[in-house]
Amino acid sequence: MVPVADTFRLSDLKLPDEVATRVTLNHSKYADLDVIEAIVGGMSFNLTHHAAQDVFQHFSAKKLNHIFCSAPASPIPAIGIALSDHIANAKHDSTVNRTFLELAWIIGEALNATSVIWQPAKLHIGFEYFSEASHQYITGGPFPVLIQIAISENPKGTFHTYGLSYFSGQEMRLSAPAGYPPNQVVKRLVRIAHDIATNGKIDSQTEAQGFVPEEMLTLTPSKDLSVVDITIIAGKPGQLH
């Protein structure tokens, strides 16, 4: 989400000198459209300019979870970023994902972005928080679950992911014994989601050691592997930091 003038065109986009050597902007590939190609580390991405009213309709038409930001009170333009065809099947690859987020950060910095919409998980994220979380990942930190995967809790206390399937083709549901603090369940969910996003879906029923002594996990994928149900088995909650 970028506060640019109505007259802005992607052909006007200029990057700071310190990142211009990292990103190559190809204005000639889509000469008749307000779309340009961005090449970063040998990977190609498509940038698209979306008019303010089109973006505003997206907020009203689809439910978004707002993370450290609010829905805009008035229309604001946006720059869409998409994987090109030659890397579209490598969404799960950490190098591709890091480069994707790096490009989003670079474009956002150049155009004073206010927030970021991550469509696979229907997340709307304040740009400052997005910058912090993505920078940790880009520089070698853990997968940024909280800006790329939505987490919700149902009335029965089971936690669900939304958007994990973008990386793995599989969502997860995690349940814990009564008495487990929700924040401890979420910490475990984040670590498991990280593993599935990085290494792929769970494709067979199995048991695994939990995150603390005397804790076990049972993992049961659905027949079509689209969801895996994970249950924490333990006598008492163990603190996970």
Model's pTM, two decimal places?
A: 0.88
Q: Which pLDDT does position 45 carry in this prediction?
A: 96
Q: 3-class SS at 219?
A: strand
Domain coordinates of the chain in residue numbers? 10-145, 149-234
Q: 3-class SS at 148?
A: helix
Give CA 47 to chain center in angstroms. Answer: 17
What is the mean pLDDT of the segment spanning 80-86? 93
Cα–Cα distance measured from residue 13 to residue 35, given in angstroms and rounded to the nearest whole number: 11
Residues 6 or more apart whose CB falls under 8 angstroms from that of 168 comprise 92, 196, 197, 200, 201
| 93-116: pLDDT as tens digits | 999 999 999 999 999 999 999 999
Q: Which pLDDT does position 23 carry in this prediction?
A: 93
Q: 3-class SS at 136?
A: helix
Q: 3-class SS at 96?
A: helix
Give me the helix-helix angle, 94-110 and 127-138, nearest 10°: 140
Give the mean pLDDT of the chain.
90
Whether residue 58 has pLDDT greater than 80: no
Q: How far is CA 79 from CA 13, 50, 121, 225, in A?
A: 11, 6, 18, 34
Give CA 16 to chain center in angstroms. Answer: 25
